[in-house]
Amino acid sequence: MIDRIWAPWRAQYVSGTAPEARPASACFLCDGLAEDRDAENLIAWRGRESVVVLNRYPYNNGHLLIAPRAHLGTLQELEGRSLVEPIETIRWMIRILDRMMRPQGYNVGLNQGKAAGAGLPGHLHWHVVPRWDGDVNFMPVLGETKVVTESLDAFHERLSREIESDRKSGVGLSE
């Protein structure tokens, strides 16, 4: 018997209408920031110096990318608020993810440079990946498949509501 994993949101990738199927510049973060289509570009929040973006290919539910707005590829190029605000944003997003998803831990990582695994080496960004005991099971090991239980659109909507709720109550960072 063949097991099936229901993932209707993947239809856009099969049909060739996914954002990756369209011509893109060298930086999807800069492209998204230049447009006024945050939901489509999976941008959940724009600060003065940083941005929160959902990872289009998440390792786990809630996988976020936190990046400086400036197209810079190394920590040495960041200074002042452009260095501090992304870290403050990571801390804020972890508080929100704690409320929303109740993870038992996090992987927070920065890959600086292509040799270190950066898929977008020209624009520095941190990965924030919520983790739960037992979230690595037989699927990725034997089936080479990662199960993500919520669509990116649904998660984007929920996260955006939480961010807005924090901002209305004076929590979080200013835009």
The residue segments making up the domain with residue 131 are 14-168
Coil, strand or helix: which one is 46?
Answer: strand
Residues noted as catalytic: 125
Tally of domains in the chain: 1
Q: How confident is the model at residue 173 (pLDDT cuts 50, 70, 90)?
A: confident
Task: Quote the pTM value.
Answer: 0.78
Is residue 173 one of the residues assigned to a domain? no
**What pLDDT, in 10s, does the model give residues 3-36?**
455 555 555 544 555 555 444 568 999 999 999 9
**What pLDDT, in 10s, does the model give residues 42-93?**
999 999 999 999 999 888 889 999 999 999 999 999 999 999 999 999 999 9
Residues 6+ apart with CB under 8 A from 1: none
- Which pair of structure tokens corresponds to residue 40? 């489509």
* CATH code at position 140: 3.30.428.10
Averaged pLDDT for residues 108-126: 90
Is residue 95 one of the residues assigned to a domain? yes
